[in-house]
Amino acid sequence: MMKTLSGADCLLLMLYLEQQAPVFGAVRLTKMMFIFEKEISKRLKNSGIDYTNPPNFFAYNYGPFSKDVYEQVELFRGIGFLNVEDINATEEMAEVDDWEEAPFIDEMVAQEKSRLNKDGRYYKYTLTLMGKRYVEAKIITLLTQEQIEFLSEFKKKIIQLPPKAILKYVYTNYPDYTSKSVIKDEVLGDG
């Protein structure tokens, strides 16, 4: 019998791995989940884990974008599983996080009051103790040690790469998702 993880489960799982190391910035978080959906989920399926209800990604101003990921973040923050902390952007292309979040925020603010701010914000995403306990009780138990190690290595790579390197990887390997990008030339070094 195949075990099942949802897209939301995988978001929590990725925040849990590597001793709950934080994910800095919306670029990392969004592109981490994009690569997870496109590449990592296939390897999990081959090892006995089915991936259901993945976030829907589409081409947008800054490459692959998913409202689903942000809605999951807001849900998990609202129920106390996740902390989202605004920090000062200090790394290369950290301003890209403003680019990534601004279109989403503009749309959401029009629909409802949003707690996110588009003016120079750079976010740190971490699990709370309650989120950690949930992952340990409901998600991590579905995985083998080999699967955990593979996923931990993936997260480790994502959190260590600069945002521009992550974007370049995504833009190079998934050009269909760059059709509406306003930073494509900058990311690919063509302009």
Closest by Cα among 104, 109, 91 to 28: 91
- Residues 163-189, mean pLDDT to the nearest whole number: 93
- Residues 99-109, mean pLDDT to the nearest whole number: 46
Question: Which tens digits make up the pLDDT trace of 114-127?
Answer: 333 344 578 999 99
Q: What is the pLDDT of residue 96?
A: 56
Question: Which tens digits make up the pLDDT trace of 147-158?
Answer: 999 999 999 999
Cα 88 from Cα 133, distance rounded (Å): 29
Half-sphere CA count of 64, side-chain side, radius 13 A: 29
Q: What is the pLDDT of residue 105?
A: 46
Question: Which tens digits make up the pLDDT trace of 45-101?
Answer: 999 999 999 999 999 988 999 999 999 999 999 999 999 998 864 454 555 555 445
Q: What is the pLDDT of residue 119?
A: 45
Q: Which stretch of DSSP H or E encloses residue 170? A: helix 163-173
Q: What is the pLDDT of residue 88?
A: 64
